[in-house]
């Protein structure tokens, strides 16, 4: 997938352009493709709770474990057409004309934009369509819920419409974020539930609405795999797991983990674990079983300890591409990405001058930690390896790094900690 912006057009995507109803001729095709793909992956039916009699418009929040979620949502909403909040990559990959007529509303991840809010309002109240939002904003790293914005309760309260939640299990197991190129067959279950009627939204606080939505968006895919006795015998099932599990839980060396076949090992201390067919890690020497999300959460705590000891700073040489619009990527050459408690700073070194001249942002690009709920991370985007995506209102900057200390999962943990700290400090003030 090259997606080159051949004319190097850096004009920002028009976020103010009104969404349209899902094309009536495309809709049956979308339903058919969604049914076939989800059925192939193991989804037999979507359970419906309190959905009888619910008619558009209404607001929908959905889990976002992997690519399957894009197909589970249309199947869950059948027979209603919908509008979907989508990142810029989809517009570049499928084209503006097709993606818009598929019902998509453009947004840059983790960027607050009133134009997007206005488009959601337009889709709900003028087009009279359900609007689907994926609050996690990215696919999950290690089978547990990603960071969720604490504004979704207020958003639901603001619109005063019925709220439904689509929750799925098994789509991560079928396509783990760290190895999306190789699909596994899994048992997928999904349900859609009307959590609040319009009347219930009006008389319920934003905090309670937030808590109820979050409760239904929580998942632990490896616990689900054990409970449902889902066997995944793919012979290379551990390859890529070193990306979320980047730090050795035995010797604490960072960037030392490697995976091959079903084995995960540390190059520093030599410890080895085997990923069982039921998604657990068995230590080779002791036979002790480890839960993958526990290792992932331990890494988060380790990162937070490092920050509290004033030992955290990420400073990496990166190759930068810009995605300003649906026309594709513009190469910007080499740069440097710095991450600290203040947020991100992207410097450009060996930059093609024409691209910089046409850029909608001035360099260096700075994004404050208080404005960024999490870091947008990619493990192997477009087959190019690890990547941090830094977004402004005008452009997305894809920063690819190859240095051993370019650990994107750690930056994700750090940024979420900085954001929470900023929010807490503001509340105290």
**Structural domain containing residue 243:** 233-277+279-311
pLDDT of residue 429: 38
pLDDT of residue 3: 82
The CATH number for 410's domain is 2.30.29.30
DSSP 3-state assignment of 299? Answer: helix
Strand order in the sheet with 343-348: 365-368, 343-348, 330-340, 314-323, 396-400, 387-391, 376-378
Cβ neighbours for 249, distance < 8 A, ≥ 6 positions apart = 290, 295, 298
Residue with tokens 């797991």: 241
pLDDT tens digits for 270-322?
A: 999 999 999 999 999 999 999 999 999 999 999 999 999 988 999 999 999 99
Phi, psi of 416 (to 5 degrees): -65, -35
**pLDDT for 19:** 94
Q: Give the ranges where 179-291 is alpha helix by DSSP (H).
A: 198-203, 206-217, 221-227
- Phi-psi category of 346—alpha, beta or left, where left has phi over 0 and alpha has psi -120 to 50? beta
Low-confidence residues of the chain: pLDDT under 70: 1-2, 350-357, 424-429
Residue 40: per-residue pLDDT: 84
Structural domain includes residue 169: yes
Query: Tell me: the pLDDT tens digits for 110-140?
Result: 998 899 999 999 999 999 999 999 999 888 9
- The DSSP output letter for 332 is E
Q: Quick one: tokens of 329?
A: 């990527």
Token pair recorded at residue 162: 């019925």
Residues 244 and 155 in one domain: no
pLDDT score for 353: 57
Q: Report the pLDDT value the prediction gives residue 264, as an integer from 0 to 100.
A: 98
- The per-residue pLDDT for 245 is 98
Those residues with Cβ within 8 angstroms of residue 145's Cβ, 6 or more apart along the chain or in another chain: 63, 136, 217, 218, 219
- Is the domain of 53 the same as that of 175? yes
Instruction: Based on the fold, state whether residues 31 and 63 are members of the same structural domain.
Output: yes
E-assigned strand segments in 324-407: 330-340, 343-348, 365-368, 376-378, 387-391, 396-400
Number of domains in the chain: 3
One domain for residues 100 and 199: yes
pLDDT of residue 96: 87
């Amino acid at each position: 997938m090259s997606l080159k912006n051949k004319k190097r057009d850096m004009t920002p995507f028009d976020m103010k352009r009104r969404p349209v109803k899902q094309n009536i001729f495309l809709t049956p095709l979308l339903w058919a493709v969604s049914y076939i793909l989800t059925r192939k992956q193991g989804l037999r039916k979507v359970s419906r709770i309190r959905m009888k009699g619910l008619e558009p418009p209404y607001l929908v929040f959905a889990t976002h474990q992997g690519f399957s979620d894009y197909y589970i949502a249309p199947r869950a909403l059948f027979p209603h057409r919908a509008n979907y909040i989508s990142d810029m990559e989809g517009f570049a990959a499928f084209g503006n004309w097709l993606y818009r007529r598929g019902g998509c509303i453009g947004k840059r991840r983790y960027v607050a934009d009133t134009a997007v809010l206005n488009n959601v309002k337009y889709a709900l109240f003028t087009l009279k369509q359900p609007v689907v939002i994926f609050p996690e904003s990215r696919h999950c790293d290690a089978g547990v819920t990603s960071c969720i914005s604490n504004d979704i309760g207020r958003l639901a309260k603001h619109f005063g419409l019925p709220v439904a939640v689509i929750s799925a299990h098994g789509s991560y197991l079928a396509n783990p974020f760290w190895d999306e190129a190789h699909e596994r067959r899994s048992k997928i279950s999904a349900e859609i539930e009307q959590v609040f009627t319009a009347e219930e939204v009006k008389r319920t606080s934003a905090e309670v609405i937030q808590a109820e939505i979050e409760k239904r968006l929580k998942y632990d895919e490896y616990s689900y795999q054990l409970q449902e006795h889902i066997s995944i015998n793919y012979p290379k099932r551990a390859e890529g797991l070193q990306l979320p599990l980047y730090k050795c839980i035995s010797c604490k060396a960072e960037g030392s983990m490697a995976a091959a076949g079903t084995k995960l090992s540390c190059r520093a201390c030599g410890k080895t674990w085997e990923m069982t067919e039921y998604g657990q890690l068995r230590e080779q020497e002791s036979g002790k079983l480890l839960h993958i999300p526990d290792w992932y959460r331990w890494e988060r705590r380790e990162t937070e300890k490092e920050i509290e000891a004033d030992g955290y700073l990420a400073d990496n040489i990166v190759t930068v591409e810009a995605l300003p619009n649906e026309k594709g990527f513009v190469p910007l050459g080499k740069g440097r990405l710095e991450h600290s408690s203040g947020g991100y700073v992207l410097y450009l070194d060996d930059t093609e001058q024409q691209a910089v001249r046409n850029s909608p942002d001035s360099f260096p690009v700075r994004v404050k930690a208080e404005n960024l709920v999490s870091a947008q991370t990619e493990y192997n985007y477009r087959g190019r390896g690890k990547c941090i995506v830094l977004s402004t209102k005008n452009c997305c900057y894809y920063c690819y790094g190859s240095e051993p200390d370019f650990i994107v999962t750690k930056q994700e943990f750090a940024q979420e900690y900085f954001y929470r700290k900023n929010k807490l400090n503001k509340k105290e003030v």
